[in-house]
Structure 1
Amino acid sequence: MRYDPTAEALARIERKLDLVMQHLGLHDHAPPAPDPLADVRHLARQGKKIQAIKVYREHTGVGLKEAKDAVEQLERQ
């Protein structure tokens, strides 16, 4: 393994920053993960059931029956 001074310096800086943030009581919050089914919910609410089923299948890889059942459940919520 080759010594990389840049990586070592970056690791030191990150450790120091972590200690400073911890001392100040700050937390590093990652942005929320995007909701993969937001498009499906939106289409279902608009009454575009077939499109919603297609998008659900693309996101999840499930079969037609499972996607249809899931979209109908979303419509009821």
Structure 2
Amino acid sequence: MDTALIVVLVLVVALGLLFSGMESRLRRMDRRLTAMDRRLGLIIDHLGAHPGDGGPEPALQRVAALLRDGKKIHAIKAYREITGADLREAKEAVERMAEGR
């Protein structure tokens, strides 16, 4: 085999290993950041440190109104539309709002 071909193959394999390791590390960091964000939300709720302490933020008034009307699923959907949260985050946030009423 030609030496140049061997060098190219080694470089391709090394780059593949490098990128797969970086991708795995980024996924772990993303999971940790999501968990930390969730914990921070729980701490803020526990301390009652909401912006202005005048109830939910103005953007979330629609969510609060849906909760008052007993429309929890609609409230979760509205929360997702407003904040861009995924289903799990929206469900947890809406449940926290419902408990805080």
Task: Report the TM range for the smaller structure's normalisation.
Answer: 0.5 to 0.7
- Corresponding residue of 2:90: 67
State the AA in 2 paired with 1:61: G
Which TM-score applies when normalising by structure 1? Answer: 0.54
- Displacement over 3 Å in runs of 4+: none
- Does structure 1 residue 36 correspond to structure 2 residue 59? yes
**Structure 2: unaligned runs, 5 residues or longer:** 1-56
* Offset from partner CA, 1:44-74 (integer Å, 9 cap, x none): 1211000000000000001000000011011
Q: Which residue of 1 aligns with 2:74?
A: 51
Greater fraction of residues in helix: 2
| 1:49 aligned partner, one-letter code | K
RMSD (CA atoms): 1.2
Quote the sequence identity (%).
52
Distance, in Å, in 2 between the alignment partners of 1:70 and 1:44 is 12
What are the within-5 Å matches in structure 2 for residues 8-27 of structure 1? none
TM-score, structure 2 normalization: 0.42
